[in-house]
Structure 1
Amino acid sequence: MSEILTIQQTARRTGLSVPTLRYYEEVGLLDAVPRGSTSGHRQYDDATVQAAEALACLRATGMGIEDMRRYREHMARGDAAAADQRALFAQHVDRVTEEIAALEVRRSYLQQKVALWSARETGDAAAEARAVEQLVDLADRL
């Protein structure tokens, strides 16, 4: 017999908040969750909890709702959707790679701001000039 969990227990197990679980059900990322006949409270079965755990992992990677929806649609098709799943994740890798590159530029810009203010603090005009030069270059890439 499978374990039935409340929404709070499911939230603790998956790391998703109660409002997020409700939202995922509302937008169809999770199948409709049955409710107790007397309490009316949602009752999460093993399959639904596992689906929520998978969505929590995808969310942690920064995957958006539409891609999570496609993932679930592909999962329903099983191995026949392997190429589609691969493409979905490959596209997400590309997006994450672009985000990392943008973050690296931001980090470099901030590091040069630190260098600039350190140079001004110590009165090192040459270091300040180098920092300004780097900042001008990085500002174009922001």
Structure 2
Amino acid sequence: MSTPDGPAAPATLSIGQVAARTGLSVHALRFYEREGILADPVRREGGGRRRYTEGDVEWLNLCIVLRSSGMPIPEIRRYTELARAGAGTEPARLALLRAHEQRVLDQLADLQRSLDIVRYKVAVYEDYLDGLPD
């Protein structure tokens, strides 16, 4: 939608709305902002209240995935800095993501080994209990 003066400003969201949409607490959102993890500076309205865009929500959702998969905050910050720097940083971003991908694959392999042991122990107990008289 546009106005007589040009395109309308994109709709913005309050910190509470972003918290509800991302599952992050208001405290976590402020922490991410302090840590330099948001791709763009948070806009402020009169009174200093934070206003977020849909792009901010998308970026935060990516950061949530990276964090939940074990990427440390300093690496997420580095990825953010590279993204902010724009064109020419793609090789560094790719290298960062490939290194993280390998760590995730290693974690999955460790979890699979753990699951195999748990399943073995479950089978041992099931066999034992099946052999007991009723």
Query: TM exceeds 0.5?
Result: yes
Quick check: 1:103 aligned with 2:111? yes
The code of the aligned residue for 2:94 comes to R
Does the Cα contact within 8 Å between 2:35 and 2:77 map onto a contact in 1?
Answer: no
Name structure 1 gaps, 5 residues minimum. 125-142
Counterpart Cα distance in 1 of 2:56 and 2:129? 58
Matches within 5 A, 1:28-67: 28-30=36-38, 32-38=41-47, 40-67=48-75
Q: In proportion to residue count, which structure has more strand?
A: 2
Q: In angstroms, what is the RMSD of aligned CA positions?
A: 2.2
Quick check: 1:93 aligned with 2:101? yes
TM-score by length of 1: 0.73
The residue that corresponds to 2:14 in the other structure is 6
The residue that corresponds to 1:80 in the other structure is 88
Tell me, what secondary structure is at the counterpart of 1:83?
Answer: helix
Equivalences, count: 123
The residue that corresponds to 1:136 in the other structure is none
Counterpart Cα distance in 2 of 1:42 and 1:80? 31
Counterpart Cα distance in 1 of 2:43 and 2:101? 35
Tell me, what secondary structure is at the counterpart of 2:51?
Answer: coil
Quick check: 1:24 aligned with 2:32? yes
Name structure 2 gaps, 5 residues minimum. 1-8
The code of the aligned residue for 2:119 comes to Q
Identity of aligned residues (%): 36
In structure 2, do the counterparts of structure 1 residues 120 and 57 end up closer, same or farther at CA, with 3 Å as the change threshold? closer
Counterpart Cα distance in 1 of 2:115 and 2:89? 39
Q: In proportion to residue count, which structure has more helix?
A: 1
Displacement, 1:63?
2.3
Q: 1:104-128: per-residue Cα shift (whole Å, max 9, x none)?
A: 111011111111111221339xxxx
